[in-house]
Amino acid sequence: MVRRARPRSRPFPIGLVTALVTALVFVASGSAGPASATSSGPSGTIPSPTAPHRGVVTQDASAAPTPGRDAAVRAFVEQRAKLRAALSGEVATTPDDAATAGASLAPTHNFWGVFPQPGTHDGITATHSVDPSYRVADSQNFTYAPTTKAQNSCMEVVTAYWSQGAEIWAWDWCGTSGPAKTLTVNADFLAKYTTTTNGITSYSVQLAKDPSAGNAWSSYLYNHRTQAWELLFRSSGTDQSQLAYGWDIFEIYATVNSATGKGYFCTEARNRAFDSADIKLRRNGAWQLATPTDSPWTSTNPRGRDFLCPSLTFTRAAQNHHWTVRP
């Protein structure tokens, strides 16, 4: 920006001096004022990773455990065990091995997205799509998309779709190995935590390693009303996933609908989009967009048929920091 010379004889306005001092205090403290809490562009509103962190996400009473959710949780546990057995030690060196291993689990389970590599980050943030009207009819089918976890983090934050609708799970990987906090995607959630990004209703999530000693992590959701990151869940200990890398992926657990010959989700999610945008990793205290070097794709050429949905499209919308999947 070109700066114009200020006449020496003109006094500097007191009010402007006060505003500049206030701004410098925000910068020096590492805090972001309301004006810098989000950034706007043609794609929508994206919160700054360094916006204020204050408040706590409350758990609504409607998210109490139910037999249906218990089945969804068991399915998640089973598939994570298979994923660990198939992928342990492979993704860090050869990203396409992930797709091969995932496809070998078909027809019931597959995934696609980016896998942030070991030693590249101690935090991850992204803006994820969420659709309160999407649900699968069959109780044995689940869509976990997007779902994200940082390397060695104590939680995975999951957008979970099942027969009862849409929920957000804070999955505890250092404790009970289950959803320690569950949020129903209802009107209250939508009003607080969502906005329109890339033409899609979306919420923003952040996972970050705490500065304290040991493996302690906190996860946050961005509240657009207060323009601040609210604490979702905090946990510490040993990451029981036994996987050294992180992920931000589209994932299905599906069976074939005999009426269509395809996975249930292929029809039920038609005209919907599963989207993860502005994926950033924190390294040495700075948040930077994911890159091909630190966050390789699980596959550069995934096939819809391996997900029980031949029409499925996979869009690498940006260089490893934005993906979209559409049935």
pLDDT per residue as tens digits for the range 79-93: 666 666 665 544 433
pLDDT band at 207 (very low <50, low <70, confident <90, very high): very high
- Is the pLDDT confidence value at 155 over 80? yes
Of 265, 253, 261, which is closest to residue 136 (Cα–Cα)? Answer: 265
Task: Measure the CA–CA gap between 23 and 207, rounded to whole angstroms.
Answer: 27
pLDDT tens digits for range 264-304: 999 999 999 999 999 999 999 999 999 999 999 999 999 99
- Is the pLDDT confidence value at 38 over 70? no
pLDDT band at 17 (very low <50, low <70, confident <90, very high): very low
Least confident of 35-44, 81-90, 223-232: 35-44
Maximum mean pLDDT: which of 32-41, 43-52, 243-252: 243-252
pLDDT band at 61 (very low <50, low <70, confident <90, very high): low
Maximum mean pLDDT: which of 36-40, 52-56, 75-79, 87-91: 52-56
Compute how many other C-beta atoms are within 10 angstroms of the C-beta atom of residue 129: 24
pLDDT band at 212 (very low <50, low <70, confident <90, very high): confident
Classified as helix, coil or strand, 1 is coil
Intra-chain end-to-end CA distance of the chain, in Å: 45
The predicted structure's pLDDT at residue 247: 97
- Is the pLDDT confidence value at 246 over 80? yes
The predicted structure's pLDDT at residue 316: 96
- Is the pLDDT confidence value at 163 over 90? no
Q: What is the mean pLDDT of residues 143-163?
A: 96
- Is the pLDDT confidence value at 39 over 90? no
Least confident of 1-5, 87-91, 242-246: 1-5
pTM of the shown model: 0.80
pLDDT band at 35 (very low <50, low <70, confident <90, very high): very low
Q: Are 312 and 304 in contact (CB under 8 A)?
A: yes
Could you please report the per-residue DSSP string of 122-148?
Answer: SEEEEEEE--TT---SSTT-EEEEEEE
- Is the pLDDT confidence value at 156 over 90? yes
- Is the pLDDT confidence value at 191 over 60? yes
Phi-psi region of 259 (alpha: psi -120 to 50; beta: other; left: phi over 0): alpha
Q: What is the mean pLDDT of residues 126-144?
A: 93
Least confident of 34-38, 47-51, 215-219: 34-38
The predicted structure's pLDDT at residue 67: 53
- Is the pLDDT confidence value at 12 over 90? no
Alpha-carbon Rg for the chain, nearest whole angstrom, is 21
Task: Measure the CA–CA gap between 64 and 93, rounded to whole angstroms.
Answer: 41
Q: What is the mean pLDDT of residues 150-171?
A: 94
